[in-house]
C-alpha cells in the first residue's frame, strides 16, 4: 500500500473529520507505531475479549464476532511471522491492526470499535504489558536472589572488613554481606508485587472518558483479561498512568540496589583490594594497557541505573501538568517505560551473571581485616561485659588503647597486657580472646548477625522466603 493510500485510510479511520493530508512533520511527531507495536499481543487479546463481550450482549452478531476474531488471529500470525506492514501514516498499533482487519474482513471490522475508544484501549493494552513486566521482574529478581544465597552459603565463614564511611568498622562474613543484598532485592520484589496488585483493574469499557450507552459487561472483559475488577471511574481510567510510574519507581529503587552492588564489585576487583576476580565473561581489556581487566559490566550496571531513574523522571514531568482526562502528551509514557523495562531486565541479568561468576579471594579479604583496629568494638564490649563498666566508659578506654596502638604502629592484639593495663588496670589476659577477627564474627550470634552459624540460618530462611 502506498503512503498516500495509507494516509487516506488514516483519514477514513478518523471518520472524515479532516479533508487534507497529514504533513510529514505532523506524521512524524504524531506517530507512535515505531515503539508501540510491541503492544500487538495485548491489543489483539483485548480486542478479542471485547469482541466476545459485544457478542454475548447481542451488541454485534455472532457471525460478525467470529469474523473479527478470526481476522485478529490472522493478524497476530502475520506480525509474529514478520509479514505485517506497519505504517506510520496509521499512527499507532491500534489503527494499524484495525486497518489490516478491514482489509481482511471488510466493513465488519468497524463493529469492533463499538463501545470503546482508543483511550481505554491503549490504557488496557499498556496495563497488560506492564503487568507482564512486573511478573518478569519478579522472576529475574528471584534468580538473582538464588545466586546471592548460593554465594552466602559458600562464604558463610569467609571474613571481610565491614565498612562505615568507607572506613574499616567491624569484621563481618562475606556471606552476611551477600545476604544484605538479598534483603534489598526482597523489598524490590515486594514493591513490584504491590504495584501489580494495584494496577490490576481493567480500563476497557471506559470509552473516551465518560463510559458508553451500550449495555456492555465490563466485569466480563475484566475477568477474561485476568484483571481483578473493572476500574470504577471512567475519567480516571483513561488518564491514569500511575501503574507505569509505580513500575519505574520500583525499578529505579531496585536499580539503585544493583548499582550499589556493582560499585562494590568495581572496588573489590581493583588491584588495591583484589577481594574478587571476574572472568572474561564480564570484563574487558584496555586498548593500550595489556595488564588491565576492566569491570565494564559492573560499571555499566552502575551507569544504567541513572537511565532508569531518568525514565521515571521523564514521565513524572510529563504527567504533572495534565488536566483530566487524556492528552496527547501521554503518548510519551511508552518509550520511557519500554526503555526502563529493557534496561532494568538487562542489568538484573548482568548482575545475576556476575554474582555467579565472581571468584572470591578469601586470603585477601582476611588480610584486609588486619588494619584499622577492626575489633575495637569487641574490646569495648568485653570491658562492659567482664569489668562491668558503662559502655561510654568502655568506649573511652578503647579509644585510648587505639591511640596507644597507633603510636606503637601495631594493631590492638599487638599491645602487651602491661601496656593495656596502663590505660585500664582491670584488664586481664582474657581480653586477647576477643581481639581475633574469627572470634569477633563468631560472637555476633544475634538474630540477623554476621556469625557464620547465623548466616547459614538466614540463608535457609531466605530459600523459604523466595517462593
Which residues are identified as catalytic?
165, 286
Using the structure block, give the residue that is written with the C-alpha cell 583484589.
Answer: 274
d(CA 56, CA 61): 9
Q: 79-117: string of b/e by CB count within 10 Å (b at 16+)? A: beeeebebbbbbbbbbbbbbbbbbebbeebbbbbeebbb
d(CA 361, CA 295): 16
In 50-134, DSSP assigns E strands to none
d(CA 391, CA 388): 9
d(CA 154, CA 171): 18
Question: Nearest Cα to 201, choosing from 136, 282, 120, 267?
Answer: 120
Q: Could you give the count of Cα atoms lying within 13 Å of 167 in the half-sphere of its Cβ?
A: 3
DSSP 174-209: HHHHHHHHHHHHHHHHHHHHHHHHHH-EE-TT-TTT
Q: How far is CA 305 from the centre of its chain?
A: 10
Q: Which three cell numbers stand for residue 48?
A: 478479542
- Residue 291: what are its φ and ψ, rounded to 5°? -80, -10
Question: Nearest Cα to 85, choosing from 1, 14, 29?
Answer: 1
Amino acid at each position: 500500500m502506498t503512503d498516500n493510500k495509507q494516509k487516506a485510510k488514516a483519514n477514513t479511520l478518523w471518520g472524515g473529520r479532516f479533508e487534507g493530508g497529514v504533513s510529514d512533520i505532523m506524521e512524524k511527531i504524531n506517530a507512535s507505531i515505531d515503539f508501540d507495536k510491541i503492544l500487538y499481543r495485548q491489543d489483539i487479546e483485548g480486542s478479542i475479549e471485547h469482541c466476545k463481550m459485544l457478542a454475548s450482549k447481542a451488541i454485534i452478531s455472532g457471525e460478525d464476532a467470529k469474523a473479527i476474531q478470526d481476522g485478529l488471529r490472522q493478524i497476530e500470525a502475520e506480525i509474529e511471522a514478520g509479514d505485517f506492514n506497519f505504517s506510520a501514516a496509521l499512527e499507532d498499533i491500534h489503527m494499524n491492526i484495525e486497518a489490516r482487519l478491514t482489509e481482511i474482513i471488510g466493513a465488519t471490522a468497524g463493529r469492533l470499535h463499538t463501545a470503546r475508544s482508543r483511550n481505554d484501549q491503549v490504557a488496557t493494552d499498556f496495563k497488560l504489558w506492564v503487568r507482564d513486566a512486573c511478573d518478569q521482574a519478579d522472576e529475574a529478581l528471584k534468580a538473582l536472589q538464588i545466586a546471592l544465597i548460593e554465594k552466602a552459603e559458600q562464604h558463610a565463614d569467609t571474613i571481610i572488613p565491614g565498612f562505615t564511611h568507607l572506613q574499616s568498622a567491624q569484621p563481618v562474613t562475606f556471606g552476611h554481606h551477600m545476604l544484605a543484598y538479598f534483603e534489598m532485592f526482597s523489598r524490590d520484589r515486594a514493591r513490584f508485587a504491590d504495584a501489580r496488585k494495584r494496577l490490576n483493574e481493567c480500563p476497557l469499557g471506559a470509552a473516551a472518558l465518560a463510559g458508553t450507552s451500550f449495555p456492555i459487561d465490563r466485569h466480563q472483559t475484566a475477568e477474561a483479561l485476568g484483571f481483578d475488577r473493572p476500574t470504577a471511574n471512567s475519567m480516571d481510567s483513561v488518564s491514569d498512568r500511575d501503574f507505569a510510574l509505580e513500575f519505574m519507581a520500583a525499578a529505579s529503587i531496585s536499580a539503585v540496589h544493583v548499582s550499589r552492588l556493582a560499585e562494590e564489585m568495581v572496588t573489590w576487583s581493583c588491584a588495591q583490594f583484589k577481594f574478587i576476580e571476574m572472568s572474561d565473561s564480564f570484563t574487558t581489556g584496555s586498548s593500550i594497557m595489556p595488564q588491565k581487566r576492566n569491570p565494564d559490566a559492573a560499571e555499566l550496571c552502575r551507569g544504567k541505573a541513572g537511565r532508569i531513574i531518568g525514565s521515571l523522571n521523564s514521565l513524572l514531568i510529563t504527567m504533572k501538568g495534565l488536566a483530566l482526562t487524556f492528552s496527547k502528551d501521554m503518548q510519551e509514557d511508552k518509550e520511557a517505560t519500554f526503555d526502563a523495562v529493557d534496561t532494568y531486565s538487562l542489568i538484573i541479568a548482568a548482575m545475576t551473571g556476575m554474582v555467579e561468576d565472581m571468584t572470591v579471594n578469601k586470603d585477601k579479604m582476611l588480610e584486609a581485616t588486619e588494619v584499622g583496629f577492626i575489633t575495637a568494638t569487641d574490646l569495648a564490649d568485653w570491658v562492659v561485659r567482664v569489668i562491668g563498666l558503662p559502655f561510654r566508659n568502655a568506649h573511652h578506654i578503647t579509644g585510648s588503647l587505639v591511640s596507644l596502638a597507633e603510636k606503637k604502629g601495631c594493631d590492638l592484639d599487638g599491645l602487651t597486657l602491661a601496656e593495656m593495663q596502663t590505660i585500664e588496670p582491670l584488664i586481664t589476659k582474657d581480653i586477647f580472646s576477643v581481639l581475633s577477627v574469627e572470634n569477633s564474627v563468631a560472637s555476633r550470634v544475634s538474630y540477623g548477625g554476621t556469625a557464620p552459624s547465623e548466616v547459614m540460618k538466614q540463608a535457609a530462611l531466605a530459600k523459604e522466603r523466595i517462593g
